[in-house]
Structure 1
Amino acid sequence: MTRADLGKDPDQVSAMFDRVAARYDRTNNVLSVGNAPLWRVATTKAVAPRAGERILDVAAGTGTSSASLAKSGASVVAADFSPGMIEVGRRRQAGMPNIVFVEADATKLPFGDDEFDAVTISFGLRNVNEPKLALAEFFRVAKPGGRLVICEFSHPPTGVVRAGYHAYQRYVMPPLVKLSSSNDTAYEYLNESINAWPDQRTLAGWIRDAGWVDVEWRNLSMGIVALHRARKPVVE
């Protein structure tokens, strides 16, 4: 098995990411046409990390997003269920003492209640087989008043952009993947998972149903990506 399918069996998804770990960041930069660093900057600004805070970065992969958060002085737990990604991440982020890598399933996080000032996940929630359960887990481990930031592929609201993006997925992405990835068949799943993922409003509803409040989103790159934010309420 070189790729997962939309059943999103955790073992298959983990094994798929193990196989692409070494060239994952480079492939993302190529496929995003250079937008991946801009999305990361937007996500870091939305999380607004501060020195002394404890932040959970779920589906952290090789820790690129975690490193961006850790530059603030915050203590970052980089969680991922792919051992291959964690291995690469520990090596690449060895110079960041305030990042700790932990192998973890987003639906069964190995942390106590109310531990983190912020929880964030970038381009990982759609790979979870039970995303609603993951959102509930994020809520559980966040402190009262804690922040949630989700950066994920979404659905452009305008027809022209949607048509152009679908053309890119169909005709441009496959040859780029062959050039940049060590496992091009795994990226067939990428398009399938993006197209099957719910739109911005639906995801916002899932977040509210998990208990989060002040839920809002904004589109990045004309809605190809959406940034959702929310807060865990403080119980008086």
Structure 2
Amino acid sequence: MTSQTNRHDVGSHVAAVYNAMLAEYDQIEDQFYFAECYQVYRESVERIVRERPDGMALDLGCGTGKQTVLLAPRPGRVVGIDISDQMIEAARRRCNGRPNVSLVTGDITKLPFEDGCAQAMVAYGDVIGHNFTAVDVVLREMVRVCAPSGLISFEVDSKWCPDLLYLPKELWQAMTTRGGHLREWKEMQFKTFTWRELTRLLQAHGLRLVDVRSMNILTMLFPPSLLFRRRQDAPRFNALFRRVMALDLALGKFLRCGSTRIVTVEKP
């Protein structure tokens, strides 16, 4: 997948890839790289639950419902939406017995919700990055659905990351691209963002920055051949990784760098 500019084609491709990787999707948390991500996801969702306990909460690009089920302890309604119908079915199984949770298959560029109905929403993973042809559309939809004083917490990939040292072709692309460039994972493309680009987007959509959590800062100095192994398959490296990850989690509360960022904003 090297040149996709049509939103429908991008969405169809992303849905097909995630449908195909359903069996392995819930196991990626066992990999070194994603271990840190999911730790920050959990902490970020806990904050959402604590600060916006009432009203509707949305999990955009919910996958198999890992964050959806974490939102479920809120007394308010929780809705997960994903473009992959097979991911939605898996999320239904995970959230079974949670009466306040519902799940729908849909496209986040056309959210099936009323204006101002959600007090909180999360969008973790490459939910926004996959929509590289429609970033403004996605943010506009999120703002439309968000209630005044509601929180939106989403993940974006950083343009400059140490692992580019292992990827000379992508490093050249990043150096020759103004703003964020396109990365590739599992034959899918997703957009990266510079900090300046991101802050301009937030300003353009009238969003107030509340918090930033950076993930995988120092861990990205490890080669991909190690980072994307399962932790149980490399116990000696796991001991070192745990120490580096602990430092990352501390630094990520203050530094605006790393592989990805969780950005939490408020709609005035």
Shared fold by TM > 0.5? yes
Letter in 2 for 1:135: L
Distance in 1 between the 2:39 and 2:185 partners?
21
Within a 5 Å distance, the mapping from 1:31-110 to structure 2 comes to 32=33, 34-49=35-50, 50-110=52-112
Pair 1:224 & 2:259 matched: yes
Mean Cα deviation higher: 98-107 or 46-55: 46-55
Q: Is the 8 A contact 1:111 1:141 kept in 2?
A: yes
* 1:136 alignment counterpart: 140
Give the C-alpha shift of residue 203 in structure 1. Answer: 2.0
- Equivalents in 2 of 1:189, 1:199: separation in Å? 23
Displacement, 1:113?
Answer: 0.5
Q: CA deviation at 1:120?
A: 1.5
Larger radius of gyration: 2
Distance 1:225 1:44, change over 3 A: same
Q: C-alpha distance in 1, partners of 2:130/2:71?
A: 22
The answer on whether the counterparts of 2:213 and 2:263 sit within 8 Å (CA) in structure 1 is: yes
Q: Distance in 2 between matches of 1:74 and 1:18?
A: 29
Percent identity, please: 25
Q: What is the deviation of 1:213?
A: 2.4
Deviations 1:23-56 (A, max 9, x none): 2121243252522321212321342454432101
Q: What's 1:189 paired with?
A: 187
Gaps of 5+ in 1: 157-161, 171-185
CA distance in 1, matches of 2:200, 2:135: 12
CA contact (8 A) 2:28 2:34 kept: no
C-alpha contact (below 8 Å) 1:136/1:211 kept by paired residues? no
- Show the counterpart of 1:213: 208
CA deviation map 1:181-231 (0-9, x unaligned): xxxxx94435x53xx411233223212212222455332232122111111
CA change 1:10–1:31 in 2 (3 A) is farther
Q: State the number of aligned residues.
A: 207
**Structure 2 unaligned runs (5+)?**
169-183, 218-257
**What corresponds to 2:196 in structure 1?**
201
Q: Is the 8 A contact 1:106 1:134 kept in 2?
A: yes
8 Å Cα contact 1:57/1:119 also seen in 2: yes
1:43/1:151 contact within 8 Å kept: no
| Distance in structure 2 (CA, Å) of the matches to 1:5 and 1:68 | 36
Shift in CA distance, 89/79, structure 1 to aligned 2, threshold 3 Å = same
Structural RMSD (CA): 2.6
Q: Which residue of 2 aligns with 1:178?
A: none
Q: 1:24 aligned to 2:25?
A: yes
CA deviation digits over 1:63-91, x for unaligned, max 9? 10111121333421101111111111112
What residue identity is the alignment partner of 1:54?
M
108-117 vs 86-95, greater mean Cα deviation: 86-95
Residue aligned with 1:35, SS: helix
1:166 equivalent in structure 2: 164
In 2, the alpha carbon distance for the partners of 1:18 and 1:115 equals 29
Q: CA deviation at 1:18?
A: 1.0
1:118 is aligned, of 120, 123, 136, to: 120
Q: Is the 8 A contact 2:54 2:119 kept in 1?
A: no
The CA distance in 1 between the partners of 2:263 and 2:104, in whole Å, is 24
Q: What CA deviation, in whole Å up to 9, does each residue of 1:79-135 have, x standing for no partner?
A: 111111111111222132222101121111111101000122001110123111110
Confirm or deny: 8 A CA contact 1:74 1:98 kept in the other structure: yes
Q: Secondary structure at the match of 1:52?
A: coil
